[in-house]
């Protein structure tokens, strides 16, 4: 079949639209990732500062500005998210918040509250996205999609900027749910392991924190957590979506 110039123009136009959509999606993922991760680390730093450890405060981590967090972990905040998106279509990465281990051993319960602050910040963003989506449903801006994906937790009822808003809200909901659940797995070096001293007496909590400080356990913990995560996250995410859309029956 011989293609005509008009067909060439149509194909070229479709490629431009598809390229623009891929670019918009990548930018949306990265913006949400950077903002969510910065809030996570800022929450750690803020709670530690208020509870007596000023290490992160002096390091400039008590801020929503992504720059200090990126400077501290450029590989986890820039390179890994971009590579993971190119390879899998979604973003994963990390940042870190400095703290005084002597302070943590002296005040294990304060250290545990610092650990919970990061996932708590991600949960707040999940709830914020959910409230906006529910408001948009009530006002006719969004509707519940027939099938759910990482970037289509909700869909726009009209054109213009609304499809982009729906994508950003979908990523905000899903990514922060992912960060919340993953970080609460009680294995080192994840925040869930740091929260366990809340349930121990001070002597046992100190021994536990000393035990966690060994680097080998962090490597093993990450490998095990990553292996378990898919089994843990899928039912929690599905439950959250069915709470967001009562009666939808997502599976």
Partners of residue 142 on adjacent β-strands: 156
Identified catalytic residue from 41, 73, 146, 202 = 41
In residues, how long is the chain? Answer: 251
Q: Domain-by-domain residue ranges, the chain? A: 5-244
The pLDDT score that the predictor gives to residue 115 is 97
| Cα dihedral 53, 56, 201, 205 sign | negative
The pLDDT score that the predictor gives to residue 59 is 94
| Cis peptide upstream of residue 154 (ω within 30 degrees of 0) | no
Partners of residue 141 on adjacent β-strands: none
**For the chain, what percentages of helix, strand and coil (3-state, to nearest 5) are there?**
70, 0, 25
The pLDDT score that the predictor gives to residue 49 is 98
Partners of residue 155 on adjacent β-strands: 143
Q: pLDDT tens string for the chain (251 positions)?
A: 454 555 545 554 445 444 567 788 899 999 999 999 999 999 999 999 999 999 999 999 999 999 999 999 999 999 999 999 988 888 889 999 999 999 999 999 999 999 999 999 999 999 999 999 999 999 999 999 998 888 899 999 998 889 999 999 999 999 999 999 999 999 999 999 999 999 999 889 888 888 888 888 888 998 999 899 989 999 999 999 999 999 989 98
The pLDDT score that the predictor gives to residue 123 is 98
The pLDDT score that the predictor gives to residue 19 is 56
> How far is Cα 183 from Cα 94, in angstroms, rounded to an integer?
11
The pLDDT score that the predictor gives to residue 6 is 54
Q: How far is CA 222 from CA 27, 91, 93, 178, 182, in A?
A: 28, 17, 13, 15, 10
41 tagged catalytic: yes
Burial bucket for residue 222 (CB in 10 Å: 0-12, 13-18, 19+): middle
């Amino acid at each position: 079949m011989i293609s005509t110039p008009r067909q060439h123009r149509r194909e070229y136009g479709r490629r431009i639209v598809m390229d623009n959509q891929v670019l918009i999606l990548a930018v949306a993922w990265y913006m949400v990732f950077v903002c969510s991760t910065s809030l996570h680390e800022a929450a750690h730093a803020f709670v530690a500062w208020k509870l007596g450890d000023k290490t992160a405060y002096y390091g400039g981590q008590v801020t929503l500005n992504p720059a200090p967090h990126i400077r501290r972990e450029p590989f986890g905040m820039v390179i890994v998210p971009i590579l993971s998106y190119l390879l899998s279509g979604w973003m994963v990465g990390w940042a870190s918040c400095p703290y005084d281990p002597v302070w943590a051993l002296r005040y294990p319960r304060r250290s545990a509250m610092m650990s919970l602050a990061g996932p708590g910040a991600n949960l707040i963003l999940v709830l914020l996205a959910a409230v906006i989506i529910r408001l948009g449903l009530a006002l006719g801006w969004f509707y519940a999609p027939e099938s759910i994906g990482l970037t289509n937790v909700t869909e726009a009822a009209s054109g213009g900027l609304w499809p982009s808003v729906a994508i950003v809200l979908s990523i905000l909901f899903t990514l922060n749910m992912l960060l919340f659940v993953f970080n609460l797995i009680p294995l080192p070096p994840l925040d869930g392991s740091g929260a366990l001293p809340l349930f121990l007496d001070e002597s046992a909590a100190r021994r536990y924190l000393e035990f966690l400080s060994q680097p080998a356990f962090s490597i093993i913990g990450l490998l095990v957590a990553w292996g378990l995560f898919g089994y843990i996250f899928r039912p929690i995410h599905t439950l959250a979506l069915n709470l967001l859309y009562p009666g939808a029956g997502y599976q």
